[in-house]
A and B are shown apart, each in its own frame.
Chain A
Amino acid sequence: MTPSLAVLSRCLAALLGGYALTYAVIAALARALPTDPVDAVIIASLPAFVVYTAAILWAFASRSALRAWVPVPVLGLPLALFAFWPQLLERLA
């Protein structure tokens, strides 16, 4: 991978991948919270930018430009599945 392509990959992993990962984390956190849904929405969403910032740092700290993408499927997919499972079941039924 050329250096500029590697930088582009990391930037995309940070901004787009980071958003997708944060989205999954927040959605799952809201689902997991045992509070009233109205409270869960706010409580789960408030730490969003901590998660996003961490994702950005990971994308630039990881050893290779491809590894920068690893957390998105590895962490994001199962969390998204957990968060949206009821909706998926509804869709299938």
Chain B
Amino acid sequence: MKQTFTQAMAWLHTWAGLIIGWLLFAVFLTGTLAVFDAEIDHWMQPEIHSTPVSQLDAAQRALSYLGDHHADAKSWGISLPTERSPGLTVSTGDRRSGTRVELDPASGAVIQPRETAGGSFFFRFHFTLNLPRTFGVWLVGGLALVMLATLVSGIIIHKKFFKEFFTFRPGKGQRSWLDFHNASAVLMLPFHFMIAYTGLVIFLLMYMPAAVDSLFKGDTQAYAKAAGNARQETPRGDGGRGQPALPANLTDLAPVFAEAEQRMGPLAGLTVLNPGTSAMRLQVRPVLGNRIELSKGLNMEFDGVSGKLLKDVTPSRASLLTQKVMAGLHFAQFGGYPLRWLYFVCGLLSCAMIASGLVLFCVKRRRKLADKPVHVQRWHRVAEVLNITSIAGLSIACVGLLWANRLLPVALEQRAGHETTLFFVLWTTSLVHASLLPTLQAWRQQLASAAVLCLLLPVLGLFGPGHDLQRLYLELAAVGIGLLLLVAIRRIDRKVAQAGSAAVNAKVLGAKS
């Protein structure tokens, strides 16, 4: 590697981009879908109806259900219907050992929605790749970090950064791929940097505990205590005054909700600790998107009997607020649906930037491939196959998850697990398919499969209960993506027509290289 600085950076950009590109595309595509995770969740549970009902009424129905069925539970949890998730969920105990029941917010009747991996699958996959959590978080963090290095090296090698700002020469093969890769990278550069960096900042002290190690001797508990966000002790059942808890009635929720809403914005749910006793406490939490700051864990606490405010929200200190605002920029919860769509489109463009870079790597080398030694041709073929699998194959798997949701029997045991399995079966099938067929043919067939699955999603939606506007929007978005995929296929068709006349190309692009 005796070469100039620019050449060194070009080498880094090419190879680092290729190696991380395959997985990074998966992170970006699932992350883009996760922008609408609650909406996908809702689509995947068609038994839940969206009914216009006030949160107060819904909360009353939830409380009367819990009072009838779980009067002796230590705590009750209620997820209220919100703009994004119209369902009403009640739970007791903690997440693992407790029970969860779905209620109809309008009638209070128990409903049994199908078990599903849901849009939350895309959310989890986005930051863990469905691997064991810690390992996955580190791997995705590594991808984001190398992406930062790839972005910077990309700027360095892109000499005519400003001159080529608006250059696009379509229909010119390799040149067009380069132009598109440059345009999508340069125009979206602030977004690429922001999303990679803020993603890393979410797990800041997990990735880089150096400062805690030097200032707090590695004692994260001591740091959390000093930062004032240590876990609060749950009040015990003696009412805090050494007296046994007596039976008591819950305070009127209307003023509590009004006060919490005025302070924190729209509400998402509440927890009742020690329900039905004089030691009752109410914790009310807002929806995530009331401020840019990622407000996970934020809540207000009220005395459950008198309705008196016990714990107000405390504003984060400036340093912590900075981190939380950066995390909030990544989570995209703060600007309602216009902002979600903006992030969705930006995310798709990032996907396109990564995909065009991967394709460019192969297109650039195809022409000269016939003169190369056999092992180079073999590695080139591996890159082509992985490109198809990671881009087209993953797209099939993602929309396939929605199909699995409607096609698997509703009463299936471990249903959510089976949906996930089907996702990976589709992805593996794509790998096998891509390695058996010639490159362009495999691209074409897989993109076509993804397009058909997207375009027919509204038809699939017709079979089954639960039609509402939110689900229709999701299906229309899928149709839009299907149409984009059709455009991509038409381009390949044109390419095949050109290649058909040139015998050399046909030899190079064949499966046996």
Contacts and interface: CB of A to CB of B under 8 A. Distances in A.
Given A52-B145, A60-B9, A37 B204 contact: no
Interface in A1-25: 3, 6-7, 10, 14-15, 22-25
Contacts, number: 109
A60 B5 CA distance: 9
B211 A57 contact: no
B214 A53 contact: no
A-B pairs with lowest CB-CB distance, top 4: A30-B211, A27-B214, A42-B319, A26-B210
B227 interface: yes
16 contacts: A7-B1, A23-B210, A27-B211, A27-B213, A30-B215, A38-B226, A38-B320, A41-B205, A41-B211, A41-B319, A42-B204, A42-B323, A52-B148, A60-B8, A60-B9, A60-B12
Contacts of B145: 49, 52-53, 56
B210 A22 contact: yes
B194 to A, nearest CB: 12
Interface in B179-208: 197, 200-201, 204-205, 207-208
A91 to B, nearest CB: 11
Given A41-B223, A57-B12, 4 more contacts: A30-B215, A39-B318, A46-B201, A53-B149
Given A6-B1, A43-B319, A53-B148, A48 B215 contact: no
Contacts of A26: 208, 210-211
Nearest to A85: B214
A3 to B, nearest CB: 7
A57 B320 contact: no
Contacts of A38: 223, 226-228, 317, 319-320
Interface residues of A, number: 40
A84 B8 CA distance: 35
Contacts of B165: none
Contact of B215 (A23, A31, A49, A56): A31
A27 B214 CA distance: 6
A65 B2 CA distance: 10
B153 interface: yes
Interface in A35-93: 35, 37-46, 48-49, 52-53, 56-57, 60-61, 63, 65, 83-84, 87
Contacts of A30: 210-211, 214-215
B217 interface: yes
A41 B216 contact: yes
Given A22-B208, A46-B201, A39 B319 contact: yes
Contact of B11 (A49, A60, A87): A60
Contacts of B11: 60
Nearest to B148: A53
A23 B208 contact: yes
Interface of B: 1-2, 5, 8-9, 11-12, 142, 145-146, 148-149, 152-153, 197, 200-201, 204-205, 207-208, 210-217, 223, 226-228, 317-320, 322-323, 326
Interface of chain A, main secondary structure: helix
A6 B214 CA distance: 34
Nearest to B6: A61
B206 to A, nearest CB: 11
A53 B152 contact: yes
A23 B489 CA distance: 47
B320 A42 contact: yes
B152 A37 contact: no
Most chain A CB within 10 A, of B204, B205, B210, is at B210
Contacts of A7: 1
B8 A61 contact: yes
A45 B211 contact: yes
A25 B153 CA distance: 22
Contacts of A10: 1
A45 B204 contact: yes
Nearest to B1: A6
B215 A41 contact: yes
A42 B322 contact: yes
Given A38-B226, A42-B319, A56 B212 contact: no
Nearest to B324: A42
B214 A56 contact: no
B323 to A, nearest CB: 5
B412 to A, nearest CB: 43
Most chain B CB within 10 A, of A3, A22, A56, is at A56
A29 to B, nearest CB: 8
A6 B152 CA distance: 22
Contacts of A14: 149
B40 to A, nearest CB: 30
Nearest to B218: A87
B19 to A, nearest CB: 10
Contacts of A41: 205, 211-212, 215-216, 223, 227, 319
A46 B323 contact: yes
A6 B2 CA distance: 11
B343 to A, nearest CB: 21
A86 to B, nearest CB: 9
A37 B210 contact: no
Nearest to A44: B211
Contact of B214 (A49, A57, A61, A84): A84
Given A23-B208, A60-B11, A65-B1, A49 B148 contact: yes
